[in-house]
Protein backbone atom coordinates (compact mmCIF):
# COMPACT_ATOMS: atom_id res chain seq x y z
CA UNK A 1 0.00 0.00 0.00
CA UNK A 2 1.59 3.32 -1.03
CA UNK A 3 1.96 6.19 1.41
CA UNK A 4 0.09 9.42 0.69
CA UNK A 5 1.95 12.73 0.41
CA UNK A 6 -0.35 15.76 0.27
CA UNK A 7 0.74 18.76 -1.77
CA UNK A 8 -0.53 22.01 -0.23
CA UNK A 9 0.66 24.49 -2.89
CA UNK A 10 -2.84 25.52 -3.86
CA UNK A 11 -3.76 26.53 -0.33
CA UNK A 12 -1.04 29.12 -0.81
CA UNK A 13 -2.36 29.95 -4.31
CA UNK A 14 -5.64 31.02 -2.69
CA UNK A 15 -3.84 33.03 -0.03
CA UNK A 16 -1.72 34.83 -2.62
CA UNK A 17 -4.89 35.83 -4.49
CA UNK A 18 -5.49 38.46 -1.79
CA UNK A 19 -2.00 38.79 -0.42
CA UNK A 20 -3.03 38.22 3.22
CA UNK A 21 -2.53 35.37 5.68
CA UNK A 22 -5.51 33.18 4.83
CA UNK A 23 -5.84 30.32 4.16
CA UNK A 24 -2.74 29.21 6.04
CA UNK A 25 -0.74 26.38 4.38
CA UNK A 26 0.77 25.37 7.72
CA UNK A 27 -2.66 24.85 9.27
CA UNK A 28 -3.69 23.00 6.11
CA UNK A 29 -0.65 20.74 6.55
CA UNK A 30 -1.70 20.08 10.15
CA UNK A 31 -5.24 19.11 9.08
CA UNK A 32 -3.89 16.93 6.27
CA UNK A 33 -1.68 15.09 8.73
CA UNK A 34 -4.60 14.63 11.14
CA UNK A 35 -6.55 13.07 8.26
CA UNK A 36 -3.79 10.61 7.39
CA UNK A 37 -1.26 12.37 5.14
CA UNK A 38 2.11 10.69 5.61
CA UNK A 39 4.15 13.56 4.24
CA UNK A 40 3.59 17.17 3.22
CA UNK A 41 4.70 18.32 -0.21
CA UNK A 42 5.31 21.96 -1.11
CA UNK A 43 6.93 23.51 -4.19
CA UNK A 44 8.98 26.65 -3.67
CA UNK A 45 8.81 28.03 -7.20
CA UNK A 46 11.35 30.53 -8.46
CA UNK A 47 8.50 32.99 -9.19
CA UNK A 48 6.99 32.40 -5.68
CA UNK A 49 3.53 32.17 -7.20
CA UNK A 50 2.17 30.20 -4.25
CA UNK A 51 4.48 28.83 -1.51
CA UNK A 52 6.79 31.47 0.03
CA UNK A 53 10.16 31.03 1.76
CA UNK A 54 8.55 31.63 5.14
CA UNK A 55 6.05 28.81 4.53
CA UNK A 56 8.89 26.35 4.00
CA UNK A 57 10.63 27.51 7.18
CA UNK A 58 7.43 27.13 9.21
CA UNK A 59 6.48 23.79 7.66
CA UNK A 60 9.94 22.46 8.45
CA UNK A 61 9.47 23.44 12.11
CA UNK A 62 5.80 22.61 12.64
CA UNK A 63 4.80 19.51 10.74
CA UNK A 64 4.84 16.15 12.46
CA UNK A 65 5.42 14.03 9.35
CA UNK A 66 8.03 14.64 6.64
CA UNK A 67 8.53 17.71 4.50
CA UNK A 68 9.09 16.95 0.84
CA UNK A 69 10.28 20.16 -0.84
CA UNK A 70 9.72 20.28 -4.58
CA UNK A 71 12.25 22.52 -6.22
CA UNK A 72 14.22 23.38 -9.32
CA UNK A 73 18.00 23.28 -9.35
CA UNK A 74 18.34 27.08 -9.56
CA UNK A 75 21.28 28.13 -7.33
CA UNK A 76 19.08 30.44 -5.21
CA UNK A 77 16.60 27.63 -4.46
CA UNK A 78 19.38 25.13 -3.76
CA UNK A 79 20.84 27.55 -1.25
CA UNK A 80 17.49 27.90 0.53
CA UNK A 81 16.99 24.12 0.62
CA UNK A 82 20.43 23.55 2.09
CA UNK A 83 19.77 26.07 4.82
CA UNK A 84 16.23 24.85 5.71
CA UNK A 85 17.09 21.16 5.30
CA UNK A 86 13.76 19.49 4.55
CA UNK A 87 13.53 15.71 4.98
CA UNK A 88 13.51 15.31 1.20
CA UNK A 89 13.97 17.44 -1.90
CA UNK A 90 12.23 16.43 -5.11
CA UNK A 91 13.94 18.00 -8.11
CA UNK A 92 11.50 19.09 -10.81
CA UNK A 93 11.83 21.01 -14.08
CA UNK A 94 10.46 24.53 -13.91
CA UNK A 95 9.32 26.96 -16.56
CA UNK A 96 8.00 30.40 -15.65
CA UNK A 97 5.04 30.32 -18.02
CA UNK A 98 3.76 26.81 -17.24
CA UNK A 99 0.56 26.39 -15.22
CA UNK A 100 1.98 23.34 -13.46
CA UNK A 101 4.95 20.99 -13.76
CA UNK A 102 4.26 19.75 -17.28
CA UNK A 103 6.70 16.88 -17.57
CA UNK A 104 9.59 15.16 -15.86
CA UNK A 105 13.18 16.31 -15.64
CA UNK A 106 15.33 15.55 -18.65
CA UNK A 107 18.07 14.00 -16.53
CA UNK A 108 19.78 12.39 -19.49
CA UNK A 109 20.34 15.80 -21.13
CA UNK A 110 21.39 17.58 -17.92
CA UNK A 111 23.31 14.87 -16.14
CA UNK A 112 26.22 16.91 -14.80
CA UNK A 113 24.23 19.79 -13.39
CA UNK A 114 21.65 17.47 -11.79
CA UNK A 115 24.38 15.24 -10.32
CA UNK A 116 25.99 18.36 -8.81
CA UNK A 117 22.67 19.46 -7.28
CA UNK A 118 22.09 15.99 -5.79
CA UNK A 119 25.59 16.01 -4.29
CA UNK A 120 25.07 19.43 -2.74
CA UNK A 121 21.73 18.47 -1.20
CA UNK A 122 23.07 15.17 0.11
CA UNK A 123 25.93 17.04 1.77
CA UNK A 124 23.24 18.84 3.78
CA UNK A 125 21.69 15.48 4.75
CA UNK A 126 18.70 15.90 2.46
CA UNK A 127 17.37 12.85 0.63
CA UNK A 128 16.87 13.55 -3.05
CA UNK A 129 14.21 12.34 -5.44
CA UNK A 130 14.09 13.09 -9.18
CA UNK A 131 10.74 13.74 -10.86
CA UNK A 132 10.98 11.99 -14.22
CA UNK A 133 8.77 10.63 -16.98
CA UNK A 134 8.17 6.87 -16.95
CA UNK A 135 10.96 6.18 -19.38
CA UNK A 136 13.82 3.70 -19.15
CA UNK A 137 16.45 6.19 -20.36
CA UNK A 138 15.49 8.67 -17.67
CA UNK A 139 15.60 5.94 -15.02
CA UNK A 140 19.13 5.01 -16.11
CA UNK A 141 20.14 8.67 -16.15
CA UNK A 142 18.64 9.26 -12.69
CA UNK A 143 20.73 6.42 -11.37
CA UNK A 144 23.78 7.72 -13.18
CA UNK A 145 23.25 11.11 -11.53
CA UNK A 146 23.32 9.51 -8.10
CA UNK A 147 19.61 9.42 -7.24
CA UNK A 148 18.26 6.63 -5.05
CA UNK A 149 14.65 7.83 -5.21
CA UNK A 150 12.56 8.75 -8.24
CA UNK A 151 9.00 9.99 -8.70
CA UNK A 152 7.28 9.12 -11.94
CA UNK A 153 5.18 11.86 -13.56
CA UNK A 154 1.69 10.36 -13.95
CA UNK A 155 0.35 13.27 -16.01
CA UNK A 156 0.27 11.41 -19.33
CA UNK A 157 -1.91 8.71 -17.79
CA UNK A 158 -4.09 11.21 -15.91
CA UNK A 159 -4.70 13.40 -18.97
CA UNK A 160 -5.14 10.62 -21.54
CA UNK A 161 -7.91 11.55 -23.98
CA UNK A 162 -9.38 8.09 -24.55
CA UNK A 163 -9.22 4.58 -23.13
CA UNK A 164 -6.68 3.38 -25.70
CA UNK A 165 -4.27 6.15 -24.70
CA UNK A 166 -5.00 5.57 -21.03
CA UNK A 167 -4.09 1.89 -21.39
CA UNK A 168 -0.90 2.76 -23.27
CA UNK A 169 0.28 5.26 -20.64
CA UNK A 170 -0.73 2.97 -17.79
CA UNK A 171 1.38 0.15 -19.26
CA UNK A 172 4.32 2.52 -19.82
CA UNK A 173 4.14 3.50 -16.17
CA UNK A 174 3.84 -0.08 -14.97
CA UNK A 175 6.86 -1.20 -16.99
CA UNK A 176 8.88 1.77 -15.83
CA UNK A 177 8.04 0.97 -12.19
CA UNK A 178 9.15 -2.66 -12.67
CA UNK A 179 12.35 -1.54 -14.37
CA UNK A 180 13.23 1.08 -11.74
CA UNK A 181 12.50 -1.31 -8.92
CA UNK A 182 14.75 -3.94 -10.48
CA UNK A 183 17.51 -1.29 -10.51
CA UNK A 184 17.07 -0.92 -6.74
CA UNK A 185 15.46 2.53 -6.81
CA UNK A 186 12.73 3.73 -4.46
CA UNK A 187 9.78 4.52 -6.71
CA UNK A 188 7.12 7.16 -6.05
CA UNK A 189 4.55 8.69 -8.41
CA UNK A 190 2.30 11.69 -8.77
CA UNK A 191 0.73 14.48 -10.79
CA UNK A 192 -2.83 14.76 -12.02
CA UNK A 193 -4.07 11.97 -9.75
CA UNK A 194 -7.64 12.35 -8.55
CA UNK A 195 -10.49 10.48 -6.87
CA UNK A 196 -11.41 8.71 -10.11
CA UNK A 197 -8.02 7.65 -11.43
CA UNK A 198 -5.90 7.00 -8.34
CA UNK A 199 -7.07 3.51 -7.47
CA UNK A 200 -5.47 1.86 -10.49
CA UNK A 201 -2.15 3.59 -9.91
CA UNK A 202 -2.18 2.70 -6.22
CA UNK A 203 -2.45 -0.97 -7.20
CA UNK A 204 0.82 -0.98 -9.15
CA UNK A 205 3.22 -3.08 -7.11
CA UNK A 206 6.41 -1.26 -6.24
CA UNK A 207 5.11 2.32 -5.93
CA UNK A 208 5.94 3.42 -2.41
CA UNK A 209 4.34 6.86 -2.30
CA UNK A 210 1.77 8.89 -4.19
CA UNK A 211 1.99 12.67 -4.08
CA UNK A 212 -1.31 14.39 -4.73
CA UNK A 213 -2.36 18.04 -4.50
CA UNK A 214 -4.78 19.75 -6.83
CA UNK A 215 -7.66 17.26 -6.70
CA UNK A 216 -7.54 17.14 -2.90
CA UNK A 217 -7.55 20.91 -2.48
CA UNK A 218 -10.43 21.23 -4.98
CA UNK A 219 -12.48 18.63 -3.12
CA UNK A 220 -11.67 20.36 0.16
CA UNK A 221 -13.70 23.38 -1.01
CA UNK A 222 -16.81 21.23 -0.90
CA UNK A 223 -16.22 18.81 1.96
CA UNK A 224 -13.37 20.29 3.99
CA UNK A 225 -9.70 19.38 3.91
CA UNK A 226 -9.88 16.72 6.60
CA UNK A 227 -12.60 14.78 4.74
CA UNK A 228 -10.90 15.26 1.36
CA UNK A 229 -7.57 13.86 2.59
CA UNK A 230 -9.25 11.04 4.49
CA UNK A 231 -11.17 9.93 1.41
CA UNK A 232 -8.01 9.98 -0.72
CA UNK A 233 -6.10 8.02 1.90
CA UNK A 234 -8.85 5.40 1.89
CA UNK A 235 -8.80 5.16 -1.90
CA UNK A 236 -5.03 4.76 -1.91
CA UNK A 237 -5.37 2.07 0.71
N1 LIG B 1 4.54 15.47 -7.56
C2 LIG B 1 5.25 16.46 -8.12
C3 LIG B 1 6.73 16.26 -8.26
C4 LIG B 1 4.64 17.66 -8.55
O5 LIG B 1 5.39 18.62 -9.14
C6 LIG B 1 3.27 17.83 -8.32
C7 LIG B 1 2.61 19.14 -8.69
O8 LIG B 1 3.13 20.17 -7.94
C9 LIG B 1 2.56 16.79 -7.71
C10 LIG B 1 3.21 15.61 -7.37
C11 LIG B 1 1.09 16.89 -7.43
O12 LIG B 1 0.37 17.08 -8.62
P13 LIG B 1 -1.17 17.43 -8.56
O14 LIG B 1 -1.27 18.78 -7.91
O15 LIG B 1 -1.59 17.43 -9.99
O16 LIG B 1 -1.83 16.37 -7.74
Give the whole-angstrom CA distance, residue 112 versus residue 24.
38
DSSP 109: G
- 129 strand-pairing partners: 90, 149
Q: 191 catalytic, yes or no? A: yes
Work out which ligand 1 atom sits closest to the CA atom of 211.
10
Q: For ligand 1, is residue 157 a contact (CB within 6 Å)?
A: no
Q: For ligand 1, is residue 201 a contact (CB within 6 Å)?
A: no
Q: 43 catalytic, yes or no? A: yes
Give the whole-angstrom CA distance, residue 2 versus residue 223.
24
Question: Which of 32, 41, 49 most suits a substitution to test ligand 1, by most atoms within 8 Å of the C-beta?
Answer: 41
pLDDT, residue 95, reads 81
Q: For ligand 1, is residue 7 a contact (CB within 6 Å)?
A: yes
Best CA proximity match to 43, nearest among 89, 85, 79:
89
Q: Cis before residue 78, ω within 30 degrees of 0?
A: no
Q: 98 catalytic, yes or no? A: no
Is the pLDDT at 103 greater than 90? The verdict is no
DSSP 24: -
Number of H helices, E strands in the chain: 11, 8
Q: Which residue of the set 70, 94, 151, 209 is catalytic?
A: 70
Ligand 1 centroid to Cα of residue 214, in Å, is: 8
Q: What is the pLDDT of residues 119-156, one digit of tens each?
A: 999 999 999 999 999 999 999 999 999 999 999 999 99
Give the whole-angstrom CA distance, residue 140 versus residue 144.
6
- Are the beta carbons of 121 and 155 closer than 8 angstroms? no
Q: What is the pLDDT of residues 43-95, one digit of tens each?
A: 999 999 999 999 999 999 999 999 999 999 999 999 999 999 999 999 999 88
Q: For ligand 1, is residue 156 a contact (CB within 6 Å)?
A: no
Strand blocks (E) in the chain: 3-7, 39-43, 66-71, 88-91, 127-132, 149-153, 186-190, 207-212
Confidence of residue 98 (pLDDT cuts 50, 70, 90): confident
Ligand 1 centroid to Cα of residue 193, in Å, is: 8
- What's the pTM value of the predicted model, to 2 decimals? 0.97
User: Looking at residues 159-172, what average pLDDT do you find?
Assistant: 97
Q: Which residue of the set 43, 50, 94, 209 is catalytic?
A: 43
Question: Which of 50, 100, 192 most suits a substitution to test ligand 1, by most atoms within 8 Å of the C-beta?
Answer: 100
Largest CA distance in the chain: 48
Best CA proximity match to 233, nearest among 210, 201, 208, 217:
210
Q: For ligand 1, is residue 94 a contact (CB within 6 Å)?
A: no
Q: For ligand 1, is residue 213 a contact (CB within 6 Å)?
A: yes
Give the whole-angstrom CA distance, residue 218 versus residue 10.
9
**φ/ψ of residue 187, rounded to 5:** -115, 120
Indicate which residue's Cα is closest to atom 1 of ligand 1: 190
Amino acid sequence: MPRLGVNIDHVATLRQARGGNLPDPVYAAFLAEQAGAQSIVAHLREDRRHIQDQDIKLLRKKIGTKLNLEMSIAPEILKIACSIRPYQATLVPERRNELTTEGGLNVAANLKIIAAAIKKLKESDIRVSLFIDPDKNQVDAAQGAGAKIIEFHTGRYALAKNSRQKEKFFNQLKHAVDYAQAQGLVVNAGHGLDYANVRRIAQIKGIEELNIGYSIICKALYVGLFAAVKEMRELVR
